[in-house]
Amino acid sequence: MSGRRIAVFGAGYVGLVTGACFAELGHQVVLRDVLPEKIAALERGEIPIYEPGLDELVERNRERLRFTTDVAEAVEGAELVYVAVGTPPTYSGDADLSAVWTVVDELPDDLDRRIVLVMKSTVPVGTGDKVRAALDARGLKNVGYVSNPEFLAEGTALHDFMAPDRVVVGGFDPADADAVAELYSKLDAPIVRTDVSSAEMIKMASNAFLSTRISFINEIANVCELVGADVTAVAEGMGLDHRLGKHFLKAGIGFGGSCFPKDISALKQLAGNSGYHFQLLSSVIEVNELQKRRVIGKLQKHLGRLRGTRIALLGLAFKPGTDDMREAPSLVLASRLLAEGAQVRTWDPVASAVDLLPTATQCDSIEEAIDGANAAVIVTEWSELADLANPDVRERMANPLIIDGRNMLDPAKVRAAGFAYEGIGRPSHETGLGAATTG
Ligand code: UDX
């Protein structure tokens, strides 16, 4: 198959990864964004986001990738027009689709050939029907519409695109859906062909279910703490059941990022707008909010009042492998600590919270952050923190207490190294049993 000509609207995270990966698959891609400075930077070879491997991918495919702010230039010659613009939450929890509608409105009236508009952005179920109706109302019968949602996790997005668990394609017209499915023909991935609304729901339901698993294991962790069980062993034992699987059962200080919080609130809101109260999702959201605050209680247990204490927050990004601070649990935790009167010193290898947390001190190294600290809290499981429980750190801290918000350290080793240790859902004293073993 020869490459197809694709326009991608929106050079944000999803648009950049999608455009670069399609170019890698041999397609000709034009990335269009409204921000001239972003397009200028991309033309200079500067990638505005942190995603491992993306700069090399863009560089390697320069010949098949163009960047523009001009709609006519992007659409000219394109067979498929991908929509990859942001759909942030509004105050009501609905998704803000204004950028999506701008793309639809910008499509030229005088198309002399068929194009397929493909929705990559995460949109509420029913959006495809509304866009189809708007296109029809403008007489744009030669513009097809297909839903092709993304399942890209930050930090592994290139792998998620090139080796996906599945590609979901939902179209009104089978020939349009065929054209989209063909774009992925070089990949060894199952293609799920369905109607537009079901494709939209697959995306929303997948993120809602993954979030539900996290809030579920976080509640199990909280009960484990009360009854003396270890949630890491529990999750391992549960995950071996093939009906459950091991993924997304890591207890911690809650989920964040640009997708889960926004998408579950959009699904809850969509259900509500349609007359259904999605009770389970309300609980998932509430559990996650409370989970971000649980570290405060653990610190108080060891330190008493937090006023005047010095707390090191290690990791700021909502997960490792990204500099993304959107909905990061670190922000809620730091704000609570500052409100309690603690001094907060932060460290992260790539993310910055200088603007978001102006009264916290952002440090360049782990050593600087933990210097004189009454406690060190692992907020993001960066690999740099694997060796945190070492003699140098113990010497530097005013009080050797580690709160492991991601259960990344071995409690027995940390305690043997002379630290007090608290994880999430792990016994706060040595049980002599350790993690689950199989065999
Ligand atoms: C997610 C989805 O995985 C992806 O398919 C979707 O399209 C976009 O949203 P992303 O937000 O990049 O991707 O991160 P993900 O790896 O899914 O983690 C989300 C959050 O859940 C992080 O804060 C992470 O720390 C947390 N998490 C994840 C847990 O607390 N426990 C787990 O077991 C897994």
- Of residues 290 and 427, more confidently modeled: 290
pLDDT confidence of residue 283: 98
Q: What is the mean pLDDT of residues 336-349?
A: 98
Give the pLDDT band of residue 430 (cuts 50, 70, 90): low
Residue 123 has pLDDT above 70, yes or no: yes
Half-sphere exposure of 218 (CA within 13 A, CB side): 26
372 CA to centre of ligand 1 in angstroms: 33
| Amino acid identity at 88 | P
- In ligand 1, which atom is closest to the CA atom of 218? 30
pLDDT confidence of residue 260: 95
pLDDT confidence of residue 50: 87
pLDDT confidence of residue 92: 87
The answer to whether the CB of 366 falls within 8 A of the CB of 384 is: yes
The answer to whether the CB of 182 falls within 8 A of the CB of 212 is: no
pTM summary value? 0.93
Q: What is the DSSP string of 320-331?
A: TT----TT-HHH
**Does residue 378 line the site of ligand 1, with CB under 6 A?**
no
343 CA to centre of ligand 1 in angstroms: 29
Q: Is the dihedral of CA 164, 183, 53, 14 positive or negative?
A: negative
Of 319, 378, 406, the one to substitute when testing ligand 1's pocket (max ligand atoms within 8 A of C-beta) is: 319
249 CA to centre of ligand 1 in angstroms: 11
Give the pLDDT band of residue 245 (cuts 50, 70, 90): very high
Mutual angle of helices 260-273 and 196-227, in 10-degree steps: 120
Give the pLDDT band of residue 437 (cuts 50, 70, 90): low
The answer to whether the CB of 118 falls within 8 A of the CB of 83 is: yes
pLDDT confidence of residue 436: 57
Residue 224 catalytic? no
CA distance 409 to 268: 35
The answer to whether the CB of 63 falls within 8 A of the CB of 91 is: no
Q: What is the mean pLDDT of residues 72-94?
A: 93
Percentage helix, strand, coil for the chain under 3-state DSSP, each rounded to 5: 40, 15, 45
pLDDT confidence of residue 435: 52
Give the pLDDT band of residue 229 (cuts 50, 70, 90): very high
Of 214, 289, 379, the one to substitute when testing ligand 1's pocket (max ligand atoms within 8 A of C-beta) is: 214
Give the pLDDT band of residue 213 (cuts 50, 70, 90): very high
Give the pLDDT band of residue 143 (cuts 50, 70, 90): very high
Q: What is the mean pLDDT of residues 106-119?
A: 94
Burial-class residue 31 by CB neighbours within 10 Å (0-12, 13-18, 19+).
Answer: buried
Give the pLDDT band of residue 89 (cuts 50, 70, 90): confident
Hey, whose CA ends up nearest to atom 3 of ligand 1? 153
pLDDT confidence of residue 144: 98
Q: Hey, what domains does the chain have and what are their CATH numbers? A: 5-194 (3.40.50.720), 210-422 (3.40.50.720)
70 CA to centre of ligand 1 in angstroms: 34
Per-residue model confidence as pLDDT tens digits over 264-319: 999 999 999 999 999 999 999 999 999 999 999 999 999 999 999 999 999 999 99
**Does residue 150 line the site of ligand 1, with CB under 6 A?**
yes
Between the CA of residue 16 and those of 8, 33, 37, 214, 439, what are the distances in Å?
Answer: 8, 10, 15, 28, 45
255 CA to centre of ligand 1 in angstroms: 7
**Does residue 249 line the site of ligand 1, with CB under 6 A?**
yes
Distance from CA of residue 270 to its chain's centroid?
21
Residue 433 has pLDDT above 70, yes or no: no
Helix (H) or strand (E) holding 83: strand 80-83
pLDDT confidence of residue 439: 53
Mean pLDDT of the chain: 95
Hey, whose CA ends up nearest to atom 26 of ligand 1? 255
Between the CA of residue 227 and those of 222, 224, 247, 287, 434, what are the distances in Å?
Answer: 9, 5, 24, 19, 16
Quickly count: other Cβ atoms within 10 Å of residue 30's Cβ. 23
Q: What is the mean pLDDT of residues 32-52?
A: 94
Per-residue model confidence as pLDDT tens digits over 159-199: 999 999 999 999 999 999 999 999 999 999 999 999 999 99
Hey, whose CA ends up nearest to atom 23 of ligand 1? 255
Hey, whose CA ends up nearest to atom 19 of ligand 1? 255
Q: What is the mean pLDDT of residues 85-113?
A: 92
pLDDT confidence of residue 94: 85
**Does residue 255 line the site of ligand 1, with CB under 6 A?**
yes
267 CA to centre of ligand 1 in angstroms: 17
3-state SS class at 114: coil
**Does residue 315 line the site of ligand 1, with CB under 6 A?**
no
